[in-house]
Structures are given as structure tokens and as C-alpha cells.
Structure 1
């Protein structure tokens, strides 16, 4: 990874850090072709408006992970195949969405880590809303911009930069 972060399985991370590790509660599914990914966190907080998601994933990702707090809404998708393809083109390691995605057949072919709650065909409405680089709360874990996220088939673990540096 270009962030210099080596992937470590989430179970190993939890065993090492115990309760000092933050973990997201179950319920997220894998939608991308990559099921193991890690990187520095960039955050977006939005409700049924993917304006900031689209903007950020069109910028250089340099191996980072976009964490989207969509408030768990199941009413529309916050990312589809075109935005995900932009993320791949721009070097993002992954996207974690507390909400929905769409175009899942296409997402499954992309070399990108994608975790979300579910899929739905309805796209979001862009109203130019959403907050970037703010603390977000996914089920079970408060996530700060700059944290290091690890995701695999077992779940999602989040470490501080200092904890992640101790892995090297």
C-alpha cells in the first residue's frame, strides 16, 4: 500500500490490542473484488446525498480508505459503479459505507475494497451536502480522520496512527 501500512488480519489485530482496538459491529457485506484492505481513513458524513463521496473519490487516494457515515440509510445508494471506478483510477484502497451501494455486478469486478450494508437500485440525490474530515460513528466505533482502518472477511478494526505504527 502506498501509505506504507502493511495489512494485518483483523482477528490478529484484535488479539494484539484487545479492548484498545475499535471494531465495527457486524452487518457489513463485501461488494468489491478486494476483500482485505487497509489504509488511512478519510471521512464523509452524509444522508442520502453522495456529492462529497463522488468528489473525494475523484481525487488521489494514495492507498487511503473512505469511510462514509450514511446513517445506515437503506433508501438509496451512496456509491455505484462509476464512482467506484473513479476510486480505482485514483488509487483508493477501499470504501466503507454505512449505507447502500448499487451496480453490484460491476462493483464485484473492481480491484477495490468495498464494504456496505446492502444494495439498492435507487441512486442518491445530489444536493451538494455532506461533511468531510469529521469524526463519524459507525455501529460500535467512533472513527476519526487519520485513523488506520483494516478490513477483511472477519470485519473491520480501526487503530490510531500510534497503534498502527507499533505494527511495523
Structure 2
């Protein structure tokens, strides 16, 4: 999703839970965490990523795509905060996890009931494109093909709601 966000120039807001104690974002993601589409990179102790700094940078009425860890904690609290502020929220089943797998399904069902759209990365990417004539279609479809096996594996593990 981060690579697609670069190609599609989708604004990205990054938060890390207490870097001093829990460390930096996963090293494999670091090369994709810079560029003009990165709107914020915030260290936080709140479980929701909607910190005062992030909230001040968010336009109103956004469609928001959520990826992250601890679906039942940070993803849930962020999603509920965004929904309460009137945003449409898409949670990617192949982009969220929990240390306890059973927590994921409970959280995703709760968030779907609260009004979030629970979907997959490939589905949301092609929804953004909307048309094979989109200027980023080749980049995104190439990325989807390149990561097909990783996505299939992630969906096999994570799509059980």
C-alpha cells in the first residue's frame, strides 16, 4: 500500500506507538516513508492515531485507508475516532494484525458494525483507480502482480474474520 500510495500520491499519515520504548517502524517499510505524499510522521502514546498533531493536518470528510498493528487496540480506536469525525474508513484485512489472532476478527466485526468498510488492499486500489485508463493503472497493476503471492498469503492468514 505504501508503494501504491507513492504512485497515486495518496496522502500518508504515519504514527508510531512510543518509539522510545517500542522502537521504530518496521525497517522494510522505511524506504517508502518519505516523499511529498507523507503528511505526518508522529510519535504517540495515545492508542488512537488521532493525536492533536494529526487531527490538525486532516482535511474534513476524508476517505481513510487504515493499515496497522494491534487491530483491537490502535486500529479500533483510530477507526472509531475517524468515524465519529465523519470520515469514511476502509480497513484492509491484509493490512492489519494483532498479536492474538482471535482479537482481529472480533475487532473487524465490531468496526464493520460501527460503519467501517472492511476490504482488501487489491480491492481498494482498483476502486481508487476506477478505470484502466487511469494514469497510474500500469504502475498499480504491476505492483499488484509483483506482490500477488505475498498478498495471497496475507489474505489466507488475515481474511478470516
Both structures adopt the same fold (TM-score exceeding 0.5) = no
**Which TM-score applies when normalising by structure 1?**
0.33
**Which TM-score applies when normalising by structure 2?**
0.34
- Bigger strand fraction: 1
Larger radius of gyration: 2
